[in-house]
Amino acid sequence: MTRETPMTYLFSYAGRTILRRFVDRATLFAFDLDGTLAPIVADPDRIQVPQGVQERLIRLNLLAPVVIITGRALADARKHLGFTPCYLVGNHGAEGLPGREQQEEEFCRQCSEWLEQLKILMPHASGCGIFIENKGATLSLHYRNASDPNAVSRKLVQAISRLKPPPRRIPGKYVENIVPYGAPHKGEALSQLMLQTGCSKALFVGDDATDEDVFSLANDRILGVRVGCEGSSLADCCLFNQREILDVLDEIIQLTLKTKDLV
């Protein structure tokens, strides 16, 4: 959906009305992973989707198409999900889309070149608290453990600006993501998967800057829900925190069951 007003809290009367009117048999349900299905943790390798969330996702996946669109590489995301969704898309949309395999190979080649350039541009990266994660089709430059995150962030932005060819830079929470130009973003990935599944509508829940690529789509057939009601966002609705994802899943499962009962 598109909006020109502040985000509506999803579990307010107005938010529930929006959700109830939106969900039907033609709705695809899409979710980010970190910060959405699973709480953010200091060590990304220790992320865990709570069992209750897994159980509800498995149930929802039997009722309607469920899609996970994450910044993680596919192999990494699979380790943490605990279930197999209808579609799993990684690297912010650059990995896992049907028919894009040849493109992915080019993205991986480009990221390998950037990795070599970064070794020259930032020879002491690890000593500054920077961890460079090669995710194949994209790179993520983490600096959560830096002693002065603001100073390190500025250094990273400067180094990224010197990469050849220039990447698409996507800042996140203590991370700079760099993506090859031409790689599909989360919004493009979701739009393609709507066509792929034959769903005319999609509900997407996310929490980070990369999820704004979905929220900013000028498409009233997509309902964007952001985890976090503070700050600016183009999402239609919001949740106060990640813990409410369990209630969201319960709500959409019940709504989906009702729409099927009407058939």
pLDDT digits (tens, 9 = 90+) for 214-256: 999 989 999 999 999 998 999 999 999 999 999 999 999 999 9
- pLDDT at residue 218, as a whole number: 83
Q: Are 139 and 111 in contact (CB under 8 A)?
A: yes
Q: Are 123 and 192 in contact (CB under 8 A)?
A: no
Question: How many Å apart are CA 81 and CA 33, to the nearest integer?
Answer: 8
Nearest to 30 by CA among 1, 69, 62, 57: 69
- pLDDT at residue 263, as a whole number: 47
Low-confidence ranges of the chain (pLDDT < 50): 2, 263
Give me Rg for the CA atoms of the chain: 19
Contacts with 113 (C-beta within 8 Å, 6 or more apart), sequence order: none
Question: How many Å apart are CA 249 and CA 172, to the nearest integer?
Answer: 25
Q: Are 168 and 145 in contact (CB under 8 A)?
A: no
- pLDDT at residue 259, as a whole number: 82
Question: How many Å apart are CA 191 and CA 101, to the nearest integer?
Answer: 18
pLDDT digits (tens, 9 = 90+) for 44-69: 889 999 999 999 999 999 999 999 99
